[in-house]
Amino acid sequence: MRAFTTLTGIAAPMPAENIDTDQIIPARFLKTIERSGLGRHAFAGLRYEADGSENPDFVLNKEPYRRAEILITYDNLGCGSSREHAPWALLDFGIRCVIAPNFADIFYNNCFKNGILPIRLPREICDALMGDARLGANARLTVDLERQVVCRPDGTEIPFEVDAFRRHMLLEGLDDIGLTLRHDGAITAFETKRKQAEPWMPEIRKTADGESGTSQKV
Amino acid sequence: MAGRTLFDKIWDDHVVEKLPDGTCILYIDRHLVHEVTSPQAFEGLRLAGRRLRHPEATIAVVDHNVPTTDRSLPIEEPQSRLQIETLERNVREFGVPYFPLRSRNQGIVHVVGPEQGISLPGATIVCGDSHTSTHGALGALAFGIGTSEVEHVLATQTLLQKPAKNMRVTVEGQVGPGVTAKDIMLAIIGTIGTAGGTGHVIEFAGSAIRALDMAGRMTLCNMSIEAGARAGLVAPDQTTFDYVKNRPYAPKGEAFEQAVAYWTTLASDPDAVFDREVTLKAEDIVPSVTWGTSPEDVLPITGLIPDPASCDDPARAASWRRMLEYMGLEAGRKIAGTKIDVVFIGSCTNSRIEDLRAAAAVAKGRKVAPGVRALIVPGSGNVKAQAEAEGLDAIFRAAGFEWREAGCSMCLGMNPDRLTPGQRCASTSNRNFEGRQGPGGRTHLCSPAMAAAAAVTGALTDVRELVPAEEPA
């Protein structure tokens, strides 16, 4: 995963609540077996007309927001489906940081796994940052994860909170799996202990054709 | 020491190790895998040279992409076929148990898990799908994860997590005729909002919840995510144990008795403290439908479409206007009587045998209204077979419903079953987001009985006007 330290970039304002992951990336684009290439489909329903042409009113179709690296929205960004295709699409578009009063849990988590920093800030501050964002290309925001501040174009700094563990992983660009596997001994010990405490937990046997041969209850 | 909640107990029993900052390595008992959110995870394993830690704790099934037509036909959409073939290659290569498309056991992952006894009380269950919350109905801690976490579980059988907060939603009393688990859940979401449960696990409690059968509890927990919650839970009780007993992958004989003894200890302690409590009266809940494009936009079927002019918050009023425009609805009018084009009865929310029975009770002896397309999509091959054994398919066919094969179908517009722009659908699924059922499609969420009522009248209809009050709906 790419590390996140500081980012200076154009922010796009999207003053809407409940922007769900179906809006960020509609289900018809989830048929890929890869992570990359989803950027052109990000916000497809809002970004394109039925004939495939661009909707000129949609913020990410306007200059300078076509080059946005930060997205600012209202409450509950990323609600709905768990699809990690949502942060993949944002990342592929170029978004590395999302700012909102709050986020849906799974989306919030998925962002960190992909080097996107989600920042929770009160709604009035999101409003102020959207005001900055509307000033366009000369009004870039700087997000400094090391110091945990968002720097506005006028130089004022807005502190934000982030979980220390997630911050560390993001700053270092660390792989969760590698970290967990360092605790392999503890996992094995736990498994041994549980096998004794809960011997009833059955194993799912491999079924060649899926038919277990037992009569099924529904 | 203060008492512990059901969530606390399951959590505590699965903590492998607590890291210095409070992040926990949480052990995962069951991992359900489907074709959409797993290819990149298996590819990650391959690239890193990693194997599955526990294939025997994993089960794979195809559901999102599959057509719900004749299973002997090839899958026409090349990308869907590729995703399904990719899963089949991955389960072979990594040794994962799998229910293939032609198996009777195939179906929607959240129908299959409980049906097979793979989902068990007290277990931790994950899947790369937000509706994994469904399995909480068994008293399991079950939640959706992203693909990076799917890979993490495949490789380590654990997740890095911090505990959620505890929330309890209590529904006391007895619901009236025609009121189902779906209506209870829509009422809850309407009350607390789509972000009301964010950061929390919701335990559903109270006499109205205890009275629900397992299918109803699954409907409830399924839509916990629509209230923003990480997971939903119902404490395991005799209803749960009776449901689990004798299922193919459930413990048997003495092992089952041992398991029940443990499961019985999981209920929240009387002195357990919840971070948030919400209480509803069952008698206040009526058959409900959504009018907007978020599941919190709920109305009793007797209600009026909201008027943005009466909304104090300008941002909200603007959002309502946009929703009314998208939905093609007029503020202030009755929601009942709104003409519909399509009826979809299915999805991980409402495709179990109990749901089909409820819909059939309304459809029996009636006809689908002219011009309406009505689909019945059983949640699994087993549900389909059971329904056919009970003659439900004959009732539906006689009424003019399409009787289809198991899959996610029209819930999410990823397979051939989808709405065309402007079509209006009474749907038993879980999300009424813009474009969810197909670009430009308009979704009204409701119960199977309400959806069947819409099918036979051609409009959103109060099912209580169709079903005599003394009969169960």
| Confidence band, pLDDT 50/70/90 cuts, at residue A136 | confident
Q: In this structure, are residues A143 and A97 in contact, taking their beta carbons and an 8 Å threshold? A: yes
Residue B127 known to bind ligand: no
**Residue written as token pair 């029996």:** B364
Q: In this structure, are residues B411 and B347 in contact, taking their beta carbons and an 8 Å threshold? A: yes
Is A105 within the bounds of a domain? yes
Is A218 within the bounds of a domain? no
pLDDT at A119 > cutoff 60? yes
Is A211 within the bounds of a domain? no
Give buried/exposed letters for B173-206 (b at 16+ CB in 10 A, else e).
Answer: eebbebbbbbbbbbbbbbbbbbbbbbbbbbbbbb
Structural domain for A96, as ranges:
6-177
| Confidence band, pLDDT 50/70/90 cuts, at residue A218 | low
**Residue written as token pair 């993949």:** A88
> B104 touching A, CB under 8 A?
yes
Is A210 within the bounds of a domain? no
Residues contacting B31, CB < 8 A, separation 6+ = B57, B58, B59, B125, B126, B127, B150, B153, B154, B157
Q: According to the model, what pLDDT value does residue B467 have? A: 60
Name the residue among A141, A215, A175, A196 with its Cα closest to residue B105: A215
CB-count exposure of residue A161 (10 Å: 0-12, 13-18, 19+): exposed
Amino acid at B464: R
Instruction: Determine how many CB atoms are found less than 10 A away from the CB of residue A121.
Output: 20
What would you report as the CA-atom Rg of chain A, rounded to the nearest whole angstrom? 21
Residues paired with A59 in a beta bridge:
none
Q: What residues of A are in contact with residue B104 (Cβ under 8 Å)?
A: 210-211, 216
Is A199 within the bounds of a domain? no
Q: According to the model, what pLDDT value does residue B469 have? A: 40
Tokens of A50: 């039925």
Do B83 and A31 count as a contact with CB atoms less than 8 A apart? yes
Residues contacting B348, CB < 8 A, separation 6+ = B108, B109, B110, B111, B131, B134, B222, B379, B408, B411, B430
Q: According to the model, what pLDDT value does residue A215 have? A: 37
Is A99 within the bounds of a domain? yes
CA atoms of B42 and B44, how far apart (whole Å) = 5
Q: In this structure, are residues B231 and B224 in contact, taking their beta carbons and an 8 Å threshold? A: yes
pLDDT of chain B along its 473 residues, tens only? 789 999 999 999 999 999 999 999 999 999 999 999 999 999 999 999 999 999 999 999 999 999 999 998 889 999 999 999 999 999 999 999 999 999 999 999 999 999 999 999 999 999 999 999 999 999 999 999 999 999 999 999 999 999 999 999 999 999 999 999 999 999 999 999 999 999 999 999 999 999 999 999 999 999 999 999 999 999 999 999 999 999 999 999 999 999 999 999 999 999 999 999 999 999 999 999 999 999 999 999 999 999 999 999 888 899 999 999 999 999 999 999 999 999 999 999 999 999 999 999 999 999 999 999 999 999 999 999 999 999 999 999 999 999 999 999 999 999 999 999 999 999 999 999 999 999 999 999 999 999 999 999 999 999 999 965 444 44
Q: What residues of A are in contact with residue B148 (Cβ under 8 Å)?
A: 84, 110, 113-114, 176
- DSSP state, residue B459: B
Q: According to the model, what pLDDT value does residue B382 have? A: 98
Amino acid at B372: V
Do B262 and A198 count as a contact with CB atoms less than 8 A apart? yes
- Domain of A147, CATH number, reads 3.20.19.10
Amino acid at B298: V
Is A116 within the bounds of a domain? yes
Residues paired with A117 in a beta bridge:
A97
Sketch out chain B's domains with CATH numbers.
6-162+250-258 (3.30.499.10), 165-236+268-284 (3.40.1060.10), 289-465 (3.30.499.10)
Total domains in the fold of chain A: 1
- Following DSSP, what letter does each residue of B312-381 receive, concatenated? S-HHHHHHHHHHHHHHT--TTSBSTT-B-SEEEE-TTTS-SHHHHHHHHHHHTT--PPTT-EEEE--SBH
Q: According to the model, what pLDDT value does residue A206 have? A: 60
> B437 touching A, CB under 8 A?
no
Is A196 within the bounds of a domain? no
* Chain A closest-CA separation from residue B128 CA (Å): 7
pLDDT at A205 > cutoff 90? no
Residue B446 known to bind ligand: no
> B144 touching A, CB under 8 A?
yes
The minimal CB distance from B97 to the residues A22, A79, A204 is found for A204
* Chain B closest-CA separation from residue A104 CA (Å): 6
**Collapsed DSSP state (helix, strand, coil) of residue B62:** coil
Rounded average pLDDT over A180-207? 90
